[in-house]
Amino acid sequence: MVFKHQQFYEAPPEIEVEFPGRATLEAAVSDALASSGGIDASDVMVTASGTAITLSGSVLRQEELARAEEIARSIEGVTEVRNDIAVTGLDQVQRGI
């Protein structure tokens, strides 16, 4: 048997020892948003970069925007939250816009 060293042609592999896995952190925040009251998170996307979370998408009310950020900050392992969620507003939905 011949042992060959691994070759990486572009970027070296990223080893996540210090931080929880991105997928794990994204799933934890997404699950918390989906199961918490006070927010319809069906149009909210969660992206992790290390221990920083970015929330994007849209919600209907300003209260939901603040609630989403509060929920994301409460997850263990999250150190920073960037909130890029847009508020679409109830009046637009009621008018059919």
The mean pLDDT of 41-65, rounded to a whole number, is: 92
**What are the residue ranges of helices labelled H in the chain?**
22-35, 62-73, 90-95
Structural domains in the chain plus CATH codes: 22-95 (3.30.1340.30)
The mean pLDDT of 24-42, rounded to a whole number, is: 91
Examine the pLDDT at 49 and tell me if it is beyond 80: yes
In 10 A of CB 96, how many CB atoms?
5
Cα dihedral 89→93→94→97 (10° resolution):
110
For residue range 68-83, list pLDDT tens digits in order: 999 999 999 999 999 9
Share the mean pLDDT of the chain: 82
| Entry pTM | 0.71
Specify the 3-state DSSP secondary structure of 94.
helix
